[in-house]
Amino acid sequence: MKRFLIADLHFGHENVIKYTSRPFVNAEEMNQRLIEFWNSVVGNDDLVYVLGDFTLSRKMNVIKNLVNLLNGKKILIMGNHDTRKPKDYVECGFEVATKKPIMVEPGAILMHEPFENSSLIASNYIYFFGHVHANKTLMDEYPNCMCVSVERIDYKPINLDECIKKKLRKRRWKE
């Protein structure tokens, strides 16, 4: 089983294409391509951590349909646009849905919004987040932080364990 990360899919959100300069004509094309990209790297036995803003839709049937079209098991760390109750997302097919960050081994913290507290950023943990899309922030300058918004990761889930190894190497180099 491989573990993957992705954030800020914004399925069905027409305006996000303009706001973030996504290379899609409309929301329908974006949805189709995001599903294709996801399924090109994620297998049925893999696990994907979605770090928020899965879709703007509040319709259970829409959310469930999208979840069912995507390979793998899915855990949702809810973002500001995931406005249903956590149990609703579980009912739609997520293994877990939570508003709180999740810690995964070895020492990686997964969240929707990045921390702004530099003392936390200076810790021994590795932080993965979304929310900021393609907006360049100081967070990327820290060796133990990484934004996994779709615009930053070529619109497809990235391997969590490879990212952790890369961040650990980078952190050691900067010490």
What predicted TM-score, i.e. pTM, was given to this entire model?
Answer: 0.92
Q: 57-66, pLDDT tens digit by residue?
A: 999 999 999 9
Print the SS3 string covering 116-145.
CCHHHHCCCCEEEECCCCCCCCHHHHCCCE
The predicted structure's pLDDT at residue 111: 95
Q: 70-106, pLDDT tens digit by residue?
A: 999 999 999 999 999 999 999 999 999 999 999 998 8
Percent of the chain with pLDDT over 70: 89
The predicted structure's pLDDT at residue 175: 42
Q: Please state, rounded to an integer, the average pLDDT across all residues of the chain.
A: 90
- 70 versus 134: the higher-pLDDT residue is 70
Give, for 165, the enclosing helix (H) or strand (E).
helix 160-174
pLDDT surpassing 90 at residue 174: no
Instruction: Specify the fold of 3-174.
Output: Purple Acid Phosphatase; chain A, domain 2 (3.60.21)
Are the C-beta atoms of 48 and 75 separated by less than 8 Å? yes
